[in-house]
Structure 1
Amino acid sequence: MRGVAALLAAAAFVPLPAAAQIAFAPAIGDQGVLQRDKPIVIEGEAAPGTSLTVTLSDTIAQAKADESGQWRAILPAMKAGGPYRLRAATGGEAVEANGVMVGDVWLCSGQSNMEFPVRRALDFDNQMNSAADPMLRLLTVPKATSTRPLRKFGEPAAWQASTRETAPEFSAACWYMARALRKAAPDVAVGLIDASWGGTAIRAWLDPVATRRIYGPEDAVLLETYDRDPLAANTAFAPRWIDWWRTQGSVEPWRTPDAVKWSPVPGVGPWDSLGEAPLQGFTGWVWFRRSVTLTPEQARGGATLSLGIIDDGDQAFVNGKPVGNSFGWSNPRDYIVPGSYWKAGANEVVVAVWNSYGTGGFMGPAERLKLTLSDGSSIPLGDQWHYWISAAKGAPPRPPWDTIAGLGLIGNAMVAPLGGIGLRGVAWYQGESDSGQTGYDVRLRGLIDGYRRQFSDPALQVLVVGLAGYGAPAPMPVESGWAKLRDEQRRAVAATPGTALVSAIDLGSRTDIHPGDKNELGKRLARAALGKPGPQAVSARRDGSDVVVSFNGVEGALAGWSGAPIGFELCAQSCRFARATAEGTTVRVLGDGQPVTRIRYGWADTPVVNLYDAANMTPTSFELAVE
């Protein structure tokens, strides 16, 4: 990851040669869509100092490339229409984008439930009968990371019209939203930009301003250090990881490996495949240990420790010194270890592996595990490992260069290259990876602020999907990380004008973190885009012994499907389920004679809820102080 990120970052900031060709920014091209009813921002690159004339239909603007070769032209706002030819020219050289429409452009972003493709959603076969729509255009941003904001995507990407061939791999939530919007305004083209990546934390999508404001300068400096010297950054970060580990117990296998009882590993591969009963279905922490014998000359020269792909996270040590920390199930671990860390004779390589979901461990194949010496030769490390299962629980601190949770690494490479194009809005579906971590409302507001900065629109509409249910149902009141995160989503949206929360609380599956009903979710997103996001709780007040909860965004009146509303809890020091009745745009929660200071609703990972308005929209989880 680090090598790719560094190359991309370098490419983003190296001035173009004098003979550089004219090019549009990566989100502008054939079959693309430009935002209607706003000044149209066209960006690109050319040789520094080049003067350009940019035309779209009968509109025209001038631009000049700056010293880094970047140029920007602003065309007058246009109504929906097209197709048009967009052209940027200087002298005898020009670049064109054909078949361009002016309509509405949506950025769809988040983790796996936004990435979830149309082909896996419910009713796929039937929906493909009407997938072809030349007025619906799709652009998928390639996955990439960077320690700095980029101007280009990691790989080329192109706009495509929605067809039976192009729609199946596109984001289902985004596509179904656009289909509903197209029905609402058949004469308006819709362009969808899908920038999503499964498993990612919200902090990976933040812009540099939000990153520094939320996480402070220390992590920003660490990230800058990592870009030029990964070992120095790892060395500086390791005490944070070690301090956390010491809260889990007193054993420190990297310092005293003989203090624990190790078992031989029968091979290299996902630990579910190793035939070791203690590792079957295990989530948590497993330590691995191997000895490597070096000659004095080999030790002095230093080496690169290659551990292949590890699922999910790792912290690696050589002779008790930290050498690398990564997270992700697709990026190989290659840690450069200087000669001062090695010694002649036996050397201890100890790796802590954290698995949070599914299978874990060294993914293999065995030949990817090796020690590459300074002379180019290598020592195989695909066997002779031993393991020890730790009782440690919970998530460790994540380094700022972490692939899918690094500070802005994904936003830098997948959103920053969009530049300042006009957008109708952003649809954001993420939060599963942040469950159990406080402060999501702060991070979400930072994300929204970053969008509005980048796209120069302080009122840019942002739609936030509240997490769908997942996990075991709760027969009695419980604490819930997912419910708390939904409530933090609600609080962030309530505090941020121009945003809307779209509830998916009832669309989940207790056994599948990726629910298939993205069609209904897309329709709800479209309603929110049109100003009808659905009911959300705003206040709770006492009325005698009862508590009355008020909602906004209600169409018609609230009602409990199949009876009285359920899922309400009265709380003081503890919480208990309570009876309730729907009364127009309020719900009366009946008092039980016990103290009450706050009220909760849908407070479980997978709550059972039945409160809907006349548009079949339902509120998400909430907790309110009783006034």
Structure 2
Amino acid sequence: MKLQPALIFGEHMVLQRDKEIKVFGTSAADDTVTVTLCGESVSAIAEDGAWEVTLSKKDACDKTTMTISSKVTEEVIEFKDVAIGEVWLAGGQSNMEFLMKFDYDFEETAKLPDDNKLRYFCYPQTAFKGFLETENNCPNWGFWRKWDDVENRKQFSAVATYAAMILRKKLDVPVGIVACNWGGTPAAAWTKREDLEANPALKPVLDWHESELEKINWAKYITASDKKAAPQDPHMQEVFERMMMGEDMSDFFKNFDPSVFMQADFVPFMPGPRSTVRPSGLYENMLTKVAPYTIRGAFWYQGEDDDARDWAEFYDESMKTMIKSWRNLWGYDFPFYQVELAPFKGVGPTAAKKYPLIRHKQAKAVADTEDAYDICILDAGEELNIHPRHKKIVGERLGRVVMKHTYGDNSLVADCPRVIGISKEPEAIVISFANAAGGIEVRDGLGEVLKISQGGLSKSYIAETDGDKLVLLLRYEAHKPVEIKYCEENFCNAALFNSEGNPVYGFEFEA
């Protein structure tokens, strides 16, 4: 066996500053592997062919070299142009995977100056061992890119990159994004099997998987999945590009029958033992190949697939369990930042079902988890586009929240306002908010998204603001509860913001 560092190690990579650096890979059994970086050399024995060394903490720098050598094979691998700075993992499904080339603002973003200290690595999407050989889906992934030429820039994750740009500006050190994501996948696919089994709330996910396995013709399934995939249908590629560019796809989805894919013996998204959506599949075949690459923390943007599978009711448990899996895999409790779902209605098989519930479960998951945060983007949705193209507002908001909570930059009014109190007064209901900054502001369309009712009857109101309070003037029966809902629809247009332009989280209360 040859000396082989893990795929994530390569030229132009960014390593995490101020933390011990893990370097790992494979070689001949019992080989002695030595890693040298910034004048420090550390050796390890390749027990059973696997090796891992731990380098001491390093300061930030933008040009250094790493060498990895084998005593048995006498190979020496040299990685040049290595940077040391901040490293963030970017996980989730298609809205995190969403490439910069599809972003609404890409034409202007592409004109930004080169930044050789902003770098990006995307781990190849891998559903099972041998998948890369059958799918041949690696040309654009599996190596480090720099923010230089336009072709490189097109391949960066839009959300993660806009967040990283905030970090670059504020910290002035190299920033590397490690993308590990796949569109149309549930949280359970990214979670360790033993952790799923240990949480009774997630039994429906495992039961679903077992029931799907019973339907499979195993001989045909394995044979088909071992075959090299046919070239992608140009028509389907055109459909994909149109969808990502936000074109109206309602006619396509009204006539689209997803069952046509189920007639094949193997499709990666079809439930089965080699599926992208099976419990723990992507945890085992992607995430464990990246870990324990040292990171500062993780970004996460996902939830659409769990909504589509009617798993919204326990999505908070899905997320808490997944975060636990990730932190255990890395061996430390890194900060975790979750982007809440954007407003979306949709049509056909992609139509939203319970997005407000998913958002509430997302909020509960981070509230129940130490050093975890979520980002409200109720102002960044599109009614018929599950991949809203305005990613700049999402990524920059994410970056500001990261700067505040991980790097301690309290000069930023980063967090979105959230309800902290509600009181009834004669002919008024007063709602108080945290993170109001200079005060709560009302924009057009509040009457469409903030609904008040009593005894099942809708109540009209006049809205006024008073600093961190929203005052709703109305007449109601004082002895009966009043129901108040804000942005509790799948699709809505945010109308409440703080003075810094951060949208208020959706809420539902009974006063």
Q: What TM-score comes out, normalization by structure 2 length?
A: 0.78
Q: Which deviations, in whole Å up to 9, do the C-alpha atoms of 1:442-495 show, x marking residues without a partner?
A: 11112211221122221x11111111112279xxxxx96111111111111222
Task: State the match for 1:70 in structure 2.
Answer: 50
State the shift of 1:124 in Å.
1.8
Distance 1:113 1:490, change over 3 A: same
Distance 1:467 1:198, change over 3 A: same
Q: Which deviations, in whole Å up to 9, do the C-alpha atoms of 1:379-409 show, x marking residues without a partner?
A: xxxxxxxxxxxxxxxxxxxx56473421121
Distance 1:597 1:211, change over 3 A: farther
Contact 1:209 1:450 (C-alpha < 8 Å) held by counterparts: no
Contact 1:24 1:45 (C-alpha < 8 Å) held by counterparts: yes
SS in 1 for 2:91: strand
Task: State the match for 1:100 in structure 2.
Answer: 82
Task: State the match for 2:291 in structure 1.
Answer: 419
Separation (CA, whole Å) in 1 of partners of 2:375 and 2:489: 18
State the shift of 1:170 in Å.
2.1
1:141 equivalent to 2:86? Answer: no
Task: State the match for 1:470 in structure 2.
Answer: 344
Distance 1:519 1:47, change over 3 A: same
Alignment of 1:43-82 (within 5 A): 43-67=24-48, 69-82=49-62
Distance 1:27 1:509, change over 3 A: same
Among residues 88, 104, 121, which one is paired with 2:68 in the alignment? 88
Moved more, 40-49 or 586-595: 586-595
Among residues 289, 303, 324, which one is paired with 1:431 in the alignment? 303
Alignment of 1:185-334 (within 5 A): 185-186=171-172, 188-214=173-199, 215-216=202-203, 219=206, 231=217, 281-282=254-255, 310-311=260-261, 313=262
Contact 1:149 1:413 (C-alpha < 8 Å) held by counterparts: no
Separation (CA, whole Å) in 2 of partners of 1:131 and 1:207: 41
Letter in 2 for 1:162: W
Among residues 483, 500, 503, which one is paired with 1:615 in the alignment? 500
State the shift of 1:533 in Å.
4.2
Contact 2:191 2:279 (C-alpha < 8 Å) held by counterparts: yes
Letter in 2 for 1:461: P
Higher normalized helix content (fraction of residues)? 2
Task: State the match for 2:451 in structure 1.
Answer: 569
State the shift of 1:52 in Å.
2.5
Separation (CA, whole Å) in 2 of partners of 1:484 and 1:575: 23
State the shift of 1:191 in Å.
0.6
Letter in 2 for 1:179: M
Task: State the match for 2:22 in structure 1.
Answer: 41
Task: State the match for 1:121 in structure 2.
Answer: 103
Contact 1:560 1:612 (C-alpha < 8 Å) held by counterparts: yes
1:520 equivalent to 2:506? Answer: no
**Identity of matched residues, %:** 24
Moved more, 107-116 or 546-555: 546-555
Larger radius of gyration: 1
Task: State the match for 2:402 in structure 1.
Answer: 529
Letter in 2 for 1:567: V
Task: State the match for 2:243 in structure 1.
Answer: none
Separation (CA, whole Å) in 2 of partners of 1:418 and 1:46: 17
State the shift of 1:536 in Å.
4.0
State the shift of 1:168 in Å.
0.7
Task: State the match for 1:583 in structure 2.
Answer: 466
Q: Which deviations, in whole Å up to 9, do the C-alpha atoms of 1:553-580 show, x marking residues without a partner?
A: 3433222135978733346775846544
Higher normalized strand content (fraction of residues)? 1
Distance 1:522 1:131, change over 3 A: farther
Separation (CA, whole Å) in 2 of partners of 1:179 and 1:79: 20
Aligned residues: 456
Among residues 269, 272, 277, which one is paired with 1:405 in the alignment? 277
Separation (CA, whole Å) in 2 of partners of 1:25 and 1:573: 62
State the shift of 1:204 in Å.
1.8
Separation (CA, whole Å) in 1 of partners of 2:216 and 2:254: 33
Task: State the match for 2:476 in structure 1.
Answer: 593
Among residues 150, 175, 181, which one is paired with 2:161 in the alignment? 175
SS in 2 for 1:444: helix
Q: What TM-score comes out, normalization by structure 1 length?
A: 0.65
1:454 equivalent to 2:354? Answer: no
SS in 2 for 1:530: helix
Separation (CA, whole Å) in 1 of partners of 2:144 and 2:182: 19
Contact 2:300 2:336 (C-alpha < 8 Å) held by counterparts: yes
SS in 2 for 1:421: coil
Separation (CA, whole Å) in 2 of partners of 1:410 and 1:64: 28
Alignment of 1:359-370 (within 5 A): none
Contact 1:204 1:404 (C-alpha < 8 Å) held by counterparts: yes
Separation (CA, whole Å) in 2 of partners of 1:33 and 1:96: 15
Contact 1:137 1:191 (C-alpha < 8 Å) held by counterparts: yes
Task: State the match for 1:238 in structure 2.
Answer: none
Contact 2:209 2:278 (C-alpha < 8 Å) held by counterparts: no
CA RMSD of aligned residues (A): 3.8
Moved more, 615-624 or 539-548: 539-548
State the shift of 1:552 in Å.
3.0
Runs of 5+ in structure 1 lacking a partner?
1-19, 236-268, 271-278, 287-309, 317-323, 334-398, 474-478
SS in 1 for 2:327: helix
Runs of 5+ in structure 2 lacking a partner?
222-234, 237-251, 405-412
Separation (CA, whole Å) in 1 of partners of 2:355 and 2:476: 30
1:551 equivalent to 2:441? Answer: no
Separation (CA, whole Å) in 2 of partners of 1:154 and 1:454: 26
